[in-house]
Amino acid sequence: MSYKIHVAEPCLDGNEKAYVMDCLESSWISSRGKYIEQFEEMVADFCSARHAVATNNGTTALHLALAALGVGPGDEVIVPTLSYIASANAVRYCGATPVFVDSCLPHLTLDPAQVVAKITSKTRAIMSVPLYGHPVDLDPILEIAEAHGLFVVEDAAEALGAKYRGRSVGSLGNCVTFSFFGNKIITTGEGGMVVTQDGELANRLRLLRGQGVSPTRRYWHTEVGFNYRMTNICAAIGCAQMERIDYHLSRRREVADWYFEALKRHDDLFVLPYQASWAHHCYWMFTLIMRDHVDVQRDAVIQSMERRGIETRPVFYPMHSMPPYQYDTNRYPVADRYALRGISLPTHAGLSRVDVDFVCRELMASIREATSQMESTLPRAA
């Protein structure tokens, strides 16, 4: 399918090409070189964190964070079921068990009351996920963690630039991870980062990222580590992206504002993205939920949009509903319901007002089309 409008698209119109050429011309293309530290510093500064450790993707960043905190076999980590699969997988890579909780409305991030209910003697950490770019209400989570002696790891893959009570996502909790996959707020192709305020933890993260090699003795490995290093080429792209982070974020905000303007008169049909009074949303994906009385199949709307040349995406399937995690047979009503009714609209820095108006017009037409499909399949009264 060739789309006229993609749901996400990287925006590479800064110094990306020049810095990548610099890597090629200087032959610093592997995981040493000036751009790596520079990129780490730029991300640390941006989120007011003392330390940043770049990795080769967001999933390894999360695994590295959990491993560096010592999460291991027999441990439990509390994870919202409504997230991307990497959140739970990273826990499993440590040999630990993800214990799911539901999300709460209206911002679809994990529910503190449910977190408390799931704490056991095995719980080691709570993973908070600022879904689609809305920060998590972290103060209650940090309090719970403190009271029970737990770590807080934030999977902020989608939330670079989001703020909680004026503080940057990335400055709170024990470790915060980001992803720089091609559809995220900024991209390095594939890439990730762990940020932390804790210097000792940062040293552990670096040690484990680089095969557990001793910082003082070459080729001497003190423990089983990983190769989760980022290349200088990826970091070069990251530096160019970070130079324009304010631009990337303000463009997304503008796109979101246009969506709100065009769709607010239809809020009888959709729940539009919510921004709590304490939150600064970074609008990774402008995600709306079709209200219950709207009698259409979400996937029919997605298909109709596709025929109109517009790529959209469904909300994540709750992790407990998928084969690796079906051992959890609890019900998570918010996640289950929203996963079936949610659609993310194209959200990226390259969209114009004309594009956004086109998407909204075609969305309304798709809803009408999907409604008439539903009606024509209803059994007729005798």
- Give Cα separations from 30 to 20, 47, 142 (angstroms): 12, 26, 38
Q: Name the pairing type of β-strands 313-314 and 270-271.
A: unpaired
With a CB cutoff of 8 Å and minimum separation 6, the contacts of 112 are 137, 140, 141, 144
Considering only the stretches 28-36, 46-54, 83-91, 137-145, report the one whose residues sit in contact with ligand PLP under the rule CB under 6 A. Answer: 83-91
Q: How far is the CB of 209 from ligand PLP (least distance, A)?
A: 15
| # chain residues binding ligand PLP, by CB under 6 A | 14
CB atoms within 10 A of CB 365: 13
User: Is 88 an interacting residue with respect to ligand PLP (CB under 6 A)?
Assistant: no
Query: Would you state the structure tokens that stand for residue 213, as one six-digit string?
Result: 């090699």
| 271 neighbors 255 (Cβ within 8 angstroms) | no
- B/e letters for 78-93, b = 16+ CB within 10 Å, e = fewer, are bbbbbbbebbbbbbeb
**Contact of 192 with 59, CB cutoff 8 Å:** yes
Among 10, 33, 58, 346, binds ligand PLP (CB under 6 A): 58
Size (the chain), residues: 382
User: Which residues from 208-237 bind ligand PLP, rule CB under 6 A?
Assistant: none
Identify the residue whose tokens are 């762990």: 194
Residue selected from 35, 84, 332, 338 as contacting ligand PLP according to rule CB under 6 A: 84
Residue with smaller CB distance to ligand PLP, 65 or 296:
65
Q: Which residue from 31, 83, 97, 232 is in contact with ligand PLP, where contact means CB under 6 A?
A: 83
Part of the chain binding ligand PLP (CB under 6 A), chosen from 25-33, 55-63, 207-215, 297-305: 55-63
CB of 99 to ligand PLP, least distance (A): 17
Q: How far is the CB of 83 from ligand PLP (least distance, A)?
A: 5
| Span near ligand PLP by CB under 6 A; candidates 78-86, 91-99, 119-127, 223-231 | 78-86
Mask: binding to ligand PLP, 282-321, rule CB under 6 A, as x and -? ----------------------------------------
DSSP 244: T
- State in angstroms the smallest separation of the CB of 77 from ligand PLP: 14
Given the DSSP bridges, would you call strands 51-55 and 109-110 parallel, antiparallel or unpaired? unpaired
Residue 137 or 158: the one with the smaller Cβ distance to ligand PLP is 158
Is the CB of 141 or the CB of 269 nearer to ligand PLP?
A: 141
Sorted by sequence, the CB contacts under 8 Å of residue 123 that are 6+ apart come out as 75, 76, 77, 78, 99, 148, 150
Q: Which residues of 137-146 are buried (b: 16+ CB within 10 A; e: fewer)?
A: bbeebbebbe
Q: Are 261 and 141 in contact, with CB atoms under 8 Å apart?
A: no
Binding to ligand PLP by CB under 6 A, coded x per residue (else -) over 138-177, reads: -----------------x-xx-------------------
Taken in order 220, 222, 224, 228, the sign of the CA dihedral is negative
The first and second tokens of residue 375, run together, are 């009606």
Q: Segment near ligand PLP (CB under 6 A), from 14-22, 84-92, 135-143, 235-243?
A: 84-92
| Residue 132 or 358 with smaller CB distance to ligand PLP | 132
Q: Is 80 in the site for ligand PLP (CB under 6 A)?
A: no
The answer to whether 86 contacts ligand PLP (rule: CB under 6 A) is: yes
Within positions 174 to 193, which residues make up the interface with ligand PLP, using CB under 6 A? Answer: 179, 181, 192
Rounded Cα distance between 288 and 309, Å, is 19
Establish if 54 lies at the interface with ligand PLP (CB under 6 A): no
| Residues 113 to 132 in contact with ligand PLP, rule: CB under 6 A | 129
Q: Is 57 in the site for ligand PLP (CB under 6 A)?
A: yes
Residues binding ligand PLP (CB under 6 A): 57-59, 83-84, 86-87, 129, 155, 157-158, 179, 181, 192
